Amino acid sequence: EYNWILELQKEKQRYIALYDYAGKNKVPELQKFFQKSDGLPVHLKHGLPDQMLYQITVALTMGGTIYCLIALNMASQPQNK
C-alpha cells in the first residue's frame, strides 16, 4: 500500500542527484562575458575559434554564391549541336 510513497522518494532522490551532477548555473557568468563592452560582436567573443568559424562560413557562402551564379550562367546559355 505504501510502495508508491517509497517509489516517489526514490525518484525524488534520483532527480536531486541528477541536479547536483549538473553543476552550478553558469548563465550569469556567461551573460557578463557576452555583454561586456569590448567592441567585439557577440559572434566573435570567444577569440580565434569564433574567428575561424566566421571566416570559413563567409568563404563557403561566397564560394557557393559564385558557384550558383556560374551554374545559372551555364544553364542560360543555349546549347549548340
* In the chain, where the domains are located: 3-76
pLDDT confidence of residue 67: 98
- Rounded Cα–Cα distance for residues 44 and 14 (Å): 39
| Domain 3-76 is found in CATH 4.10.91.10 | yes
First to last CA, the chain: 88
φ, ψ dihedrals at 79, nearest 5°: -85, 125
Rounded to two decimals, the pTM is: 0.58
Q: C-alpha angle with apex 41: 26 to 33, nearest 5 degrees?
A: 25
pLDDT confidence of residue 19: 61
pLDDT confidence of residue 22: 62
- Rounded Cα–Cα distance for residues 55 and 59 (Å): 6
Q: What is the pLDDT along the chain (81 residues), one digit of tens a residue?
A: 577 777 777 777 776 666 655 667 788 888 998 898 988 888 888 889 999 999 999 999 999 999 999 999 999 998 877
Contact 12, 5 (CB under 8 A): no
pLDDT confidence of residue 69: 98
pLDDT confidence of residue 16: 67
- Rounded Cα–Cα distance for residues 11 and 31 (Å): 33
